[in-house]
Structure 1
Amino acid sequence: MLLFRPYRFAVVSHTPRLETIMKETMRDHEITLDFFDFSYEDPLRMVQNLFDQGYEVVICYSSLGASLLYELGRSVVVIPRDDYEIIKAIVAAKEVASQITLTVCETDNIDTQLIETLLDVQIKKVMFNSLETLSSALDKAISEGIEVLVGGGLSYTKAQVNDLPFFRIKPNRYSIEQAIIQAKGMARDQRVERERLQQFIAMLKLFRTGVLCVNEIGHTIFSNAKAKDLLKFDQTGSQEVSFGKYNEALMINEVLQKGEAVEDRSVTINGVQLLITTLPFSLHPDLDGAITFISDVNSIHNIAGQLRKNRGKSGFIAHYQINDIIGESPEIKELKSAIKAYAPKNAAVWISGETGTGKELIAQSLHNASLRSKHPFVAVNCAALTESLLESELFGYTEGAFTGAKKGGKPGFFEMAHKGTLFLDEIGDMGLETQARLLRVLETKEIVRVGGDKVVPVDIRVISASHKPLSTLVKERKFRQDLFYRMTTLRLRISPLRERLSDIPLLLNNLLKAYGKSINSLTPSMLEAMSNYSWPGNIRELFAFLESYLVLLENRAANQKLFLKLLVDWISDDSSVADTVASSTNKGLGSEQILYPKNQKLKEQLESIRQQLVKRAVDECGGNKKKASSRLGISYNTLWRIMID
């Protein structure tokens, strides 16, 4: 069991008998008290020297104690001047004269008018807030004439020099006891903080990444061995000089100034590429600053490579879970339920959905919910590769299979996905020859590399997706019917955004957070306006539009005028109604232009613009409303509704 080490307190006072009073009062073995006369030459330096000598708390009986506490900000306890003791001193001074001069600190709460009434005296207050103001205020009062002076140490000195009657305000036992209790609590808290700080530093020393800590003015207060190694610490110079020159590169100055973290920033120092994260910290009221974590980018790459190796032969990983599918619409709830039902099975799954609906997110979620989640998830975009290249990438090839083939050959995606999931995106773009080989693999669960003759067994689950309707491709003889039935055993349909517009606010949350905004940055009218557009590019288009708005918005509040112009321009540039709405951006379509209604809310402005666009389309189609609705990409009924509103 560790022995308790008594608290070391320094007592600073101008009162001669304070030491006697405190020693008579205190019988506490948990503390040691050392007494010092108050220095009026430089009290701040005096107290600081006491801290440097190892005293944990300085107990001060002086009206200047409050200013010392303010300057040092820590570890100073002031024995307050008790009203009763002030009255006792005034009563004694009244025996000399009825007009009494009293020193009063600005932080003191003394009702001198009440004392004057009770004691039938006149009190002249000498107000002060520091040693300098006290000295000058006393000199002024003395020059104006003082009959008797009541105060503390400096007042006593001035009274002696000027041969004035003087009565000292003495501390009482209760105030002393309360100050001791406060000092013990303060010292105890400091020891706990110090112990925690030591444990924190001991932990930082063990970090395999470089760690650098600075105080609020950027001076280095700690660095571990790894930081010294990565920054090539100059052993001949001081720590502050050797590390301080990197404060700018390590984003320390920026973090200290703004108080905001800088994370995962790539920098080059001394020819070495480093990844740094710098965070503001406040360990306790007396220790603010910043902490920087420094990693060698090469070592990070090595670790990432090892992780990929540990996750399977290919190292392909699915990042999304079912919980990452955002939405509360009935369509999304039904989709999530289907994924949970399909996940434990090994049957092939076909995902249908328009461009931008998030087919790969669904595929990854399905994989991570399955029993194959600990094995590779390999995604292939069939539309991005030529027929010959897709075949060699899917099935692999042997050495010498074709010109440019790697020495030793290369495993294909089927082999890489062994025990896991192979996701074939845009399968509708796959050529018929590759379809035939794919069907063979699905039936036999074996592959043969291009140019080889060795059969390689594979255990995979296949998920496919296409924005093209496969049934139509089958009728057009562009997709094998037997492969169609094999690939579409289980089917998932992702609804386009226009069928679940109620999900828009939820979908936008993450993007808004990335720009430091919330859904409140969009007014109800803006959300309604987005709900009135069909979003042919679906979620991808929605995100692209909102990001363009947020970039232009910068740090301002919601701006409906900017939003409206961007939305009209966006529809003009990106939808099937481009020719009709181009005039809304004043690019001109004939001589007539879209009129922006004034003094109307956003919803009313959009309705007006929409009616103008529809009317123009009908006029340009010679009054043929079916042709106009087709041109605008809306239904015939929708066109009628807009016209009669």
Structure 2
Amino acid sequence: MTDIVLIAPFDDLAENAKKIILENHLNIDVLVGDLSEGVKVAQKCVKDGAQIIISRGGTYTMIKDAVDVPVVEIKISSFDILRGFRDVINYKGKIGVAGYKNIIHGSETVAELLNLDIEKIVLDNEDQVPELIKNLITKGINVIIGDSIGYKNAKKLGFSSYIITSGKESILDAIQEAQRILKVSKVEKTKTERIRIIMDFVHDGIMSIDNNGYITSFNATAEKIFGLDSKEIIGKKVDDVIPNTKMLEILKTGKKELNEIQDIKKSKIATNRIPIIVDNKIEGVVATFQDITQVQEMERKIRHELAKKGFIAKYKFNDIIYKSNIMDICINKAKKFSLSDSPVLIIGKTGVGKELFAQSIHNASNRSKGPFVAVNCAAIPPSLLESELFGYVEGAFTGANKNGKQGLFELAHRGTIFLDEIGEIPLEYQARLLRVLQEKQVMRIGDDKVIHIDVRVISATNKNLRQLVDEGKFREDLFYRINILTLYVPQLNERRDDIILLAEHFIKLYAEKYSKKFISLSKEAANYLLSYDYKGNVRELEGIIERAVSLCSSNKIEIDDICDDQNNYFNDDQNNYFNNNKTDNIPLLSLKDFEKGYIKDIVSKCDGNLTKAAKILGINRSTIWRKLKTD
């Protein structure tokens, strides 16, 4: 079945229509059916998929009330009526004109022009047609001009009858109108379906009412929230479906209401109600409903997935333990930085807690719900740095994962990437990193397309990057790109007011870890900690306290628990380990601990410069990192 079907009330019209369709290479079916028979034909066509029906006269009138698709009328022109009078122009008696109004309308004018005497009968019910035609006989009428039903009945009763046909122009006009309506209808159906799909697949419930308070739309999410079927409620008064609804109030006032929390069944719903205003007149109201319970559950799942991957920031500003004024200034500055989206460079010696600040800034920012990806640039071998940061596609290099791999920048999308020890990135990779930061897009190794990313960059270093720039070891343009906001984290030696507070925190932490009862610091131990020179900052203090808690045999940490031989061992000059041949002066340590302690001391004496320490030790930087990390 074609989209457009022409139903002709009589055969001649059908034949003319077929010729026109053939001449114009149109895809339209033509069927014959008059009045009630035509209605049956039309209903079957619509059932089979027809979208537009064309007909004329009384058949058109009956069909348009019987089907739910557009019906186009083949309209009768003055020329069509004139052709109907063609054979009776010289007739001197009275002529009957019988037919449906839309066929014989205008016949009086034509008859007047031709100086003909007519008697017009308007038909509107096919069952009454024979009786009405018979009445013309009593008026001495022998000639009838009419539509198909008038023509057929007059002929049966012995009248001389002539039919008002439709000319080629009228048929073609109706076909073109049907094509136009079909095109518009398809566009509207596409729009309607697009809107329906959008409405049904958004996470918010959506409901709308017209200016009389009747429900006009109710999407799938709204069905779930309210437990109602849209098919049963659309077209009903909104207050009959949802008691105490405020949508009718909005319809009166025209004032929108946003983010109103209400309880619906077992869920908390955030509701927005917005008036539809056209030409300063309220034409309806749209309400959206967001299931907060569901949103919270989705957020929980997302954060759970991020936590499994390790891409989540655990610490917040409240987790930073301090009472010193210098730290108060530092934290307030960091809080201001969290309100911005600009790159941050955190400067500080090893162990001051640079990542703690990076995580806190992330968690206080508008990216807190996104991933936090921490990268230790010194821990990744230079040969793997590019693939780790930017990812690669299948077959990019020997040993590459067959499915390719996302880079860390991709994984940080919509969140924060923390580039710790950024000064360790080799010069040859700094140019590509700069391009990523400038263009906000990455290209995986072996790929030819870019991937757009939305990432905030926080970097950290324990080196003097300005000096590295002057030495040609760090790109100046990259330095300015990452150093928009600068945060200096003070050394522990600069914040001695915090030492005891931190020590007590670590005591509590490790007492619980090692299942020790209440432990406190002796006065002597506290004084020692206050006077100690912390080269490793908070991290070193934490290590001292962990060892002391582990060794402590009473409920109080004494100075001997802190000042054991290991401290002296780590503070000796490295040459003493080899120049002193008296083994009884060397602490009794395992080879593993001896190696780790020696490496740590060399790194410390190199001010944390792993490249310099690696040259002295004769090993690469990644080996240093691995050995220091092993327990």
* TM-score, normalized by the shorter chain, greater than 0.5: no
> Normalization by structure 2: what TM-score?
0.42
> Normalization by structure 1: what TM-score?
0.41
Q: Of the two, which has the highest radius of gyration?
A: 2
